[in-house]
Structures are given as structure tokens and as C-alpha cells.
Structure 1
């Protein structure tokens, strides 16, 4: 792991103005919103884009190009930020993203649009990776979980708003506004970042695995081209397809060889010796495959087959996202309370397969409530799997691999999404050609009618006579729903793999990621320390609400009320504390603070210096015992991630101990005034 080259640098959040931090977090969230929206906002505009630009054979590449570019670029941006500072780099990726957005808006052909989407994805990967990392630069570990939760909410909101906004812009303005809307938002984010974001100078030394990143991106591109072009633009046995397939396999082999020698590999080879990582990676690939493959073609089904406007097609997709978010949030709560997680990948993959089967039964006559129900079931299945896989991987690896394993699990979901969109696109194109040919055979078509126009421009269906329009709509319906049938065996493979997952006891510090945070598919490059800080800050604040101070009082062997422990730690942290001011500034009840103040004075632990309380010698000694107890509680949560073996972990535990016991929002639970001696007696 890279060592910090600036030991004198300020700690995260130190010396930062809170108002400016909140404004900066808002600007970072805007940048993240741009990248997250562009994963989904295009889907409802695709039928209209195809009608204007043509090239339905390459429709899937409008989504695939963005996903591939952002996936490949994410780890590179993360490491460059460590080496050269993140503020200017974040401004750079915003500019790249905005240039890509503007060029997408003026594209005059499908080829241009696909190329510009790749440029946009290059910036989008940086927006996601750097925004997450900058939070660690400007926010203390204690508050990091709260702000990462905000970003998780951005991902969740983008998943709901993306299809809806894509429809509104396409219908009310133009499909080009799907891209133009990024420009004013991006300019605002750029200006705010320039004005208020102040990041302490903390650079680290890295050996960037350029060759590994290049080979994995090239291998993925070759294999996606094979699945996209094979059987449509080119025959499966054509020299070009064979060459692409051979190049893809060769590049995978080169990638494996490169990673074995790299000092800081993109994916450490030793991870593939961990059974849980391998199983979760396969399931992640499958979930990405199913999720984005379906999300790309559902708007086409709604707009072409059912004749919904782009806006209404976005509205009809909301049940799927609602199901996804409900299931991810619910499963996270259950896992956190029970410590059992294996059942959710099993149930989730099974429900996903059932959802795909239900989607296959849709046709032009299906009523709205039935479609909404089927979309909800499909989303429910996806939601039960996504975040639990990240949890299982984190729980199965050592501290030194925590960051790589976390980003690796989502990396395979990104690659799966790229393959899913590509494969679904090939199946759809082949099916549509065959179904339209069968549907039009023997029908009285208008003079000069060209059947190929129906594939290039779905809007042309509206001008057909009723006798022809019905069979053509049915052909479109069958072509799209056959895609979902082809995905069922893939989901079934995920179900089989889920049974191979070993359920291991959860480490105390491993907490389920925020439900919304796992909706986005880009692998976010985080260090192991970043992941530990997120987990401990979330668990620490939850623990604080559930008797934290009772635990540390008992561990310190102090015969005082837990509220008194809280007060003594605050005085030690800040130098003094005014009980009246504390009652005004914190959410702790005034009478509980008064009880603690009386006990602190009566026990000789604190004396008045005017109104504020300051510690006596015995109070200082007791507060040190309490602080050590708090550090022990945090260290115990790390399980076999030993702070003694990692200096940075030990420093984090010390810092969190001070912050969690001394901040304004931390508080003891309101309990009856019983001394900890009584707790020990009853234990």
C-alpha cells in the first residue's frame, strides 16, 4: 500500500469551514448526479434517437460505450487523484464530461453519438471516483458515513429520475436536451468547486498499472464487439469476428500475466484464490447483465409496442426502481440485525429469473397494472442481490485487499452491464428482422413500402394501415420479449452460483452499504482505509444511539452514569464544557446533562471555572480510561484486521475515538439513572 508522502498534512476535515464543506458536498453531489443520470437517462430517448439518426443495429452501443469507458477509467482517475491532487483533476473530469455532453447533443449520426458517449463516459468515471474520494479529504471520519449516505441517495434518485427526465426532455424539447441539460448543472458545479473546495495537500506515491488498465479495457471492448456485431453486422464465422474473439482471449491472458507482476494491480490475482470473491464476481456480472440489458429495451417496448410517450414510458419504469430500492434497503436492515446474508443472493437471483420470465410474457395487449407489477418483481430481485454481494466480499478478504475487493465486485457488475446491453442488442436485432419478415408475409402493404424502414425508424409504424400495423407491433413485441427469455438462463446460473456462497460470521466493522449507493454500476476506487472509515463511522454512530456510553463506562470500570462518561469525554476533548450551552447545542435532554454535571462535580471529576466545567486531575485520569475503552471498542469491531499490524488503522481508531466521543451530535441514550456498578452486578 502506498505511503503518505506528506506526514505534516492536515487531517481530513481539520480547519475546514462547515458551511463551505456543505456547499462543496452539494457541488460534488451535483457532479455525481450528472454521471449517475447519464447511465439511465438515455434509455427512454433511444427510440427517438434511432428514428432520427437511424442505426438500430447499433442502438445498444449508445449505452455500452458509456459504460465501458467509465468502467475502464475509474481506477485510473482514483490513482491520479492520489498522486496529483483531486481538486484540479475533478475540475478536469467535469470539463471532459461537459465536452462529451455537448458533442453528443450535436451528433449527426449514430457513429458520432457512440464515439462522443465514450468521451462522456471517460469523464463520468472520474466524476464518480473522485467525488467519493474528495469526501475523505474534507470530512472527518466521524461524519463520512453521513455524507456517503447523501451520495447513495443521489444514485437512488438518479435511477428514478433518469428514465423520467429522459422522457420529458425528449417529448417536450428534443432528445438532444438529454445531453444539453448537463451543461448548466456542470458549470454550476465547476464554479462552486473552484470557489469553496479547499483540499489539504496529502499526496501519495503510486505505481499506476497503466498496462493492466489498458489490457482489461481492450479485452472487454473486443469481446463486447464480438457479441454486438456477431450475427448482425458480421457473420459469426467471418474473419473479423474470429479475429476479435481471438484478440479478446489473448488480451485476457496478457492481463492475467501483467497483474501478476504489477506492484499495484487493478485486480490483485490473489483475490481469485478467495472463493467468495469469485462467486460474488460471477453473480455481480450476471446482475449487471440482466439489469442494464432490461433497462435498455423496456423503454423501446413501452414506446413502440404500447405507444406511450417518452415521458410516460419513464413513469412506467418507476415501479422497477422502487422495487430495487425497497429490496436493497430491506435486505440491508435484515442483514445488519441478523448477520445472515446468504439467503438474499439465492432469493434475489431466483426472483430476478422469475421477473425476466414475467417480462417475456408481455405483449401489446398487456394492461398497465400487470406491466407495473412485473417491473416491480424484476426490480425486487435485483435489489436483494446487489449490496449483499459487496458485503460478502468485504467480509471474506483481509484488510490489505479490502479496497481492491470492494471495487472489484462492482467492476464485474460494470463489465456485465456492458455485455448485457451488447448481447441483448444482438438478440433484439436478429429477432426483429425475422419477426418482421414473418409478420409482413402475405399482408397488403402500401405501394413503395420498404420493410427495412420499420427497423431503422420505429416511428414509421404509426403511418401503417391498421391491417399491417397490428402484426408489425406484435413482431416488435415478440422481438423485445424474446430478449428477456434469453436472459433467464443467465439469471438461473446466478441462482446456482448463489448456493455456492459460503456464509461467514460478519466482522463487526462490516456494514451493509447504503441501498442507493449500490444502484450505480461504476466501480468506485477506494483504499482499504477509506472503506474501514466508512464502515466504522456508520457503525459508530449507530452504536452511539444504542448504549455506546454504557459499554465504554462498563469497560473502563467506572462507577458513574453513562451520561457522565459522555460529559467527561466532551470536556477532555474541548478543554471545558458549559452544561447550559450543551443543552442548547445538542439533542441530549437538559435534565440528563444536569444529572451528569452534578455527578461529575460531586465525584471530584470536574470543577466550575465560572459557568463551564473543567476536569480535575482525577477527572483527567478517568477520561483517559474512558477514551482507551472507546478505542478498545472500535478496535474490537475490526475483528482480525489488527490495528497493531497497520499503523494507519491504529491512527484511524484513535482519531475516531476522539471524534465520536467529543462531537456535538454524539449523545448517550436516555436511560434511568442507574450506575454502571449496577450493570456489572447484573451481568
Structure 2
């Protein structure tokens, strides 16, 4: 029994390393982008470095989840780890931004397999009474990726070289690969099914169009430009075709039958909303600290630590409560705390103390943390082993889609607000000093060049734009409460047959 528990622990480490690598990669790369662009050039194309990864990751999640139901989890986890490491090695050798973008797309394919399949294996190998704790650990991996990604990326870029932002994945990937391949022996309970190729193709196409629409609109192209209008039309057309394809498919990539379960549908809508809301806090609280308080980039990243730690606490608590309280009742509490946290964030001013900001962040973290464990368990509640991969990957796909859409939408709101205030300020004060760019207010060098009165005016404008962004985030936060009350009222139940099946399954050598 002791040996078996130790092997379970080793498999758990391998799976969490896979999740951590894939979840952390974007946050690591963001901090290195300035140096990478300075080295490789191609400033006008750097957006593709981020987009290529997100597109292939998002498109791959539901596809690999479905394939894992059909042919087994282990082979696709190992496939994802291998492709991710190959992409990471190639990224470190890139000589141009175009090469780096292509290699990042390869990385994203691997990530699209790693995250949903690792989380599905976790729910497969642990009995129902342990899934609350496992859901909390799963949430912890995502929280740590948001904290340590920027810090590790900044350190490697400054002291080792930006290439190691990608090479660091190789030793971690090898450890994850070996732990799973050696210690995890998968059950043979699989079901051969037909592959929904039309659904996969139209889904990938729709995701590509949507993400490019959000990434490029208002940045490289005007919103009314032919390119952006074409992307929006392409998304609508491909999404409609995807809906038709899924209705006709024998084994759809994303099953509409699953969405007939109110618990599954509600948990996925909540995952979309929570993903976007969470990113509003993760992105703009550090900017507020660095741009308004005048903190350093490292300090602005570390200030998220209380929020992440509080999210870890409620991820664990949510898993434990799921055995005694319905998913819906837990998420009512989560939604109320989250809404209260963002309401308090919407009251921030440059004079708000850091202690109060920390308390506000703790509230937001407490509200978000429940979603990490509770929504993932609610998503698989009605489904057996042969559907669990599709259910989990759909939930992960929709949460990540929410994060991507949230970054884009809240970015548009904040940028538009700040730019508008800067235009008014320019008209009032005449032209700024030619050497001073208010958009570089996060730079300590730029801040030192500004007269104290002008610096205060610009930081007030930045603070106002971020606070307005938090105010807009109250809309989806409030919507979470409406969706929660629409969910059905199940709670986790320990199925004796499933417990016996897990205990009898020789999943470990």
C-alpha cells in the first residue's frame, strides 16, 4: 500500500509539471517579449508570437480530449509533452520573429493536449472522495503559473538569456514524461468512436478568426478595416458551420447532448466568465501597482501573491465542501465574494493604501479559487469514464477562451479610456516634451523625466482607466450570480461502483 501511494504521488507530480509548463509558458514569454523583439526585430509582427500559441492550444483542447476518450489518455499526454518540448527547443533556436511564431504554434499543439488530459487523468485515478483535494491542487498549479511565470521569465531574460525562457521547459518536460511513462499504467476501458473531422476543422478555423480579430483589431488594423471585418465574417461563418457539423456528427468534438445537462452547461458558462474576470485582476492590478504606486516590475508581480494564495485556499475548501454542499450553493458564495472584491477594486484611488489593495485582492482570490475545483468537478458530474475527457477538455477550453477574450476586451476598455484622457491632457497642456511618452509611465526612467505635477496627472489618468476597467468587470461578475441560480442543484456523490472500479484498476506498476 505504501509503495502504491508513493507511485501515485510520482504520477501526480508528473501530471502537475505538465499542467504547470503549459499554463506558465505564456506568462513567462510575456516578460521576455521586449528583449526578444529587440534581438530578433519584427516589432510589427510580435503579436503572432502570442497568438500562434493561444490558437493552437485552444483549438487542440477539445480535440485531444475527445481522442483521449477514444484511444486512451496516456498516449496523448506523452504526445503533448513530446510536441511541447520539441516546440520549446525550436523556439530557443529561432532567428526571426516569423520562425518563433511558427515554433510557438508547435508548442501550443502540445499544450492543448497536456492541460485537459492531465486534469482528466487526475480525476480518473483518484476516487470521488479525493477529487475535491485534487481539484484544489489543479487550481494551485494555475495560480502558481500566474505568479512565478513573470518572475521566472524576468530573471532568465535578465541574467541568463531569453532563449532559456523556452529551454527551461526541456528538463521539466523530461521529468514529467518519465514519471508518467514509468509509473502510470492506464486502464483499457476505451471506446472506439468515429472522428468528427468537419467539427474539428470548423472549430479550429473559428477559433483562429476570433483570436486574430481580438488580437489585431484596434492594434495593427482599425476595427472597420477589411482585414478585421473579414475575420469577423469568417468567425461567424465557420462557427455556424461548426454548429451544423456537430448536430450531424455521430461523435461530435463538443457534444450538444452534454449541454442539455444544466449543471454542465452552467459550469461551462461560469468557466467562461470566471476566466475573463480573473485575467482582469491578474493583468491590471500589477499595472496599477507599478504605474500608480511606482513599484518595480518584480514587486508588481509579487503583489499578486496574496490573491493567488487565497485562491489556493478556496480551491481546496471548495473541493471539500462539494462532498457536503451542492455545487450551486458553493458557487453562490463564490460569486458574492468575487463581486464584492471587484466592487472594492472599482473604488481604488492613487491614495488607497497597499494594505487595503491587498485585502481587496484576497477577496477576489477567494471568489475565484472556488471555481478552479468546483467547476471542473461539476463539469464531469453526469459523465462516465468514456465521456470524462471530452467534458473536462471542453471546460478547460471554455475557461481558456474566456481568459483570452477577457484580456482582449478589458485591454480595449483600458487602452481606450487612458488614450482618451491623454488626448484631453495634451490639448490642455499643449505638446508633451518630445522625449516623454505617457504610454511609458511604467518605466522608472520615463517617470524620472516627468515634472512632479505632470507625473501626478498622468498617474491619476492611468489609475482612473484601470478603475473603470474593474467597474466594467462588475458586469460579468454579477452575471455569475445569475448563471449560478440557473444551475441544477446536484452535489458530489460517492458512487460505490466507481470507487470499486478505481480500487480494482491496476493503474500503477
Q: TM-score range by the shorter chain?
A: 0.7 to 0.9
For the pair shown, the structure with the greater C-alpha radius of gyration is 1
How far off is 1:290 after superposition? 0.8
1:502 matched residue in structure 2: 488
2:302 matched residue in structure 1: 315
Compared with structure 1, are the counterparts of its residues 55 and 347 closer, same or farther at alpha carbon in structure 2 (3 Å cutoff)? Answer: farther
Cα deviation, 1:17-37, whole Å, max 9, x if unaligned, reads 887776555444433331233
How far off is 1:482 after superposition? 2.7
How far off is 1:262 after superposition? 1.6
How far off is 1:463 after superposition? 4.4
1:421 matched residue in structure 2: 407
CA contact (8 A) 1:292 1:421 kept: yes
CA contact (8 A) 1:352 1:491 kept: yes
Distance 2:131 2:385 in 1: 23
Structure 2 residue corresponding to 1:167, chosen from 147, 151, 155? 151
Give the match's secondary structure for 1:264.
coil
Q: Which deviates further from its counterpart, 323-332 or 107-116?
A: 107-116
Give the match's secondary structure for 1:361.
coil
Task: Tell which has more relative contact order, 1 or 2 (C-alpha 8 A, sep 6+).
Answer: 2
2:420 matched residue in structure 1: 434
CA contact (8 A) 1:428 1:479 kept: yes
Distance 2:46 2:460 in 1: 20
1:35 matched residue in structure 2: 22
Structure 2 residue corresponding to 1:298, chosen from 262, 285, 294? 285
Q: Which deviates further from its counterpart, 108-117 or 477-486?
A: 108-117
Give the match's secondary structure for 1:267.
coil
2:59 matched residue in structure 1: 72
Structure 2 residue corresponding to 1:207, chosen from 194, 202, 213? 194
Structure 2 residue corresponding to 1:268, chosen from 255, 261, 266? 255
Q: Which deviates further from its counterpart, 246-255 or 278-287?
A: 278-287
Distance 1:397 1:47 in 2: 45
CA contact (8 A) 2:28 2:152 kept: no
CA contact (8 A) 1:394 1:405 kept: yes
Compared with structure 1, are the counterparts of its residues 656 and 117 closer, same or farther at alpha carbon in structure 2 (3 Å cutoff)? Answer: closer
2:468 matched residue in structure 1: 482
2:358 matched residue in structure 1: 372
CA contact (8 A) 1:97 1:120 kept: yes
1:673 matched residue in structure 2: none
How far off is 1:258 after superposition? 0.8
Q: How does 1:400-419 map to 2 (within 5 A)?
A: 404-419=390-405
How far off is 1:50 after superposition? 8.4
- Between Structure 1 and Structure 2, which shows a larger proportion of helix residues? 2
Distance 1:17 1:389 in 2: 29
1:384 corresponds to 2:370: yes
Q: Which deviates further from its counterpart, 407-416 or 144-153?
A: 144-153
Distance 1:235 1:114 in 2: 23
Compared with structure 1, are the counterparts of its residues 68 and 465 closer, same or farther at alpha carbon in structure 2 (3 Å cutoff)? Answer: same
Compared with structure 1, are the counterparts of its residues 110 and 487 closer, same or farther at alpha carbon in structure 2 (3 Å cutoff)? Answer: farther
1:285 matched residue in structure 2: 272
Compared with structure 1, are the counterparts of its residues 277 and 143 closer, same or farther at alpha carbon in structure 2 (3 Å cutoff)? Answer: closer
How far off is 1:146 after superposition? 6.2
Distance 2:38 2:199 in 1: 39
Compared with structure 1, are the counterparts of its residues 155 and 57 closer, same or farther at alpha carbon in structure 2 (3 Å cutoff)? Answer: farther
Cα deviation, 1:279-323, whole Å, max 9, x if unaligned, reads 333222111111123323333333333333333222210111122
1:448 matched residue in structure 2: 434
How far off is 1:420 after superposition? 0.8
Distance 2:79 2:168 in 1: 19
Distance 2:484 2:239 in 1: 25
Cα deviation, 1:541-577, whole Å, max 9, x if unaligned, reads xxxxxxxxxxxxxxxxxxxxxxxxxxxxxxxxxxxxx
2:212 matched residue in structure 1: 225
Can you give the 5+ residue segments of structure 2 that lack an aligned partner in the other structure? none
1:466 matched residue in structure 2: 451
The TM-score normalised by the length of structure 2 is 0.81
CA contact (8 A) 1:393 1:409 kept: yes
1:258 matched residue in structure 2: 245
